[in-house]
Structure 1
């Protein structure tokens, strides 16, 4: 290589390293440590306006809560291939580009509470293959009903969904989540809404329906009592509805056929998921055992052949 070109390349690399070094020194320093065996970057309340460029790329947990970030662009999260937990609460985020999250197949928890999103959120959030905990509380500018409607069917294995304190209008309906058999905790606190069986029929394994400081309306007093009994019969924890007056003796416990069908479909889907998970686990175990047996056989065959060759060599020497 021409010495001039080599000098130019070396000088360029050194210059870029110096620029990056200066940038890193000028950025607030996030605390990097191990949390539950995972590499964590704690950038909590550092007055950041963007995601730090020099943040360690093998971080599995990133806490950027209580900063001044206004937008998440497509390249901001690209290098974090191992990211599992991302906390962005209490910023001023108005927009997240879909591409920034599209490849986050390991992401298990996403906190976007207390931000300033303008009307919408990326649909990809509800289709991340590992996402279990999603926090969307206190985003007053978004229409959570339209957002979830556009994203259904939800394919993320959500265990917890928090959409509390999102009052897009004075009285609204709950978003129809469809069938989400993995959901255990559904937080709709601080909201006023009318409720129907369609809102919960597809949540067949729901454990906690959080209604703190919420006002729930029903079209008919009998619907109020029937819904409460239906949830109790399925061991859901919730604050009892205010049915205004006792109507138990006047109402028949009739569940809409559609709700029963959706609930059954949810149970069936859940059973299939469990079966598939067990099948995958069994295949992994069996595959591992077969690999061990195969390797063991190879080792045994190798040693047998080696011993035969050694015996032949000994016989040959003795013959000579």
Structure 2
């Protein structure tokens, strides 16, 4: 168990020295545990790079290491007589969430979990493609994703649908879309969240019937993305809930809207801590008023 804990700590911290600080041992002790683990499995599991990274064999062990550590923490809490949420070692749960969810409905999860003193929550912000990969590799235990296909060893539940609309600043809309909206869509500057964001490009292909290469800006922050569009940097697909409704944004065409269906994927693991996080996420999705009924949704790609 200590070998697996050391392995996960090295991957999380990035170096043997930082892992030693986390585990309250010496770097030499961490190195010895990793070497013992590699001898036991018969291959190298840590790539000694900057930062340290798991080898292909290490990825197989990473998921096991996190599961063992989570269950061990919960067991220690129970055996200490304090129970989960007491004074024992805290159960650490790592999840990955896309940026638009973090900026809108997901913060309700924090309020729900704030009363749980026995839990340590780590939230990673990545787009939906990376989220599935992180879940598959064992780097996270659960994910908000647009991929409804369960990762091996995980379960999937529908959260709801976020509605996106093509919007722009009024002056920008008059300049680029007043004469010929379809042609404007093909040539007007657009704002993408990052280079993985295909929501704007997919709308262009659907509406114009061709691939276009307009000037493209990248603003990898949900709030600043809306600010950039409102400032006239380009048009973009804005979550309806983030429309400031103060006249700074204008709907380009009522038909240029898309639904992005969100799913919650989590490990199939009998863990009270992971179950509490899942309950909080599902509860936030149900009560937020941001996620629409799934029947309205399409399986388009989510930005962020």
Q: Note whether the superposition's TM-score is higher than 0.5.
A: no
TM range (shorter): under 0.3
Normalising by structure 2, we get a TM-score of: 0.24
**Which structure shows the bigger proportion of residues in strand conformation?**
2
Question: Which structure's relative contact order is higher, taking Cα pairs within 8 Å and 6+ residues apart?
Answer: 2
Answer with 1 or 2: which has the greater Rg: 1
**Which structure shows the bigger proportion of residues in helix conformation?**
2
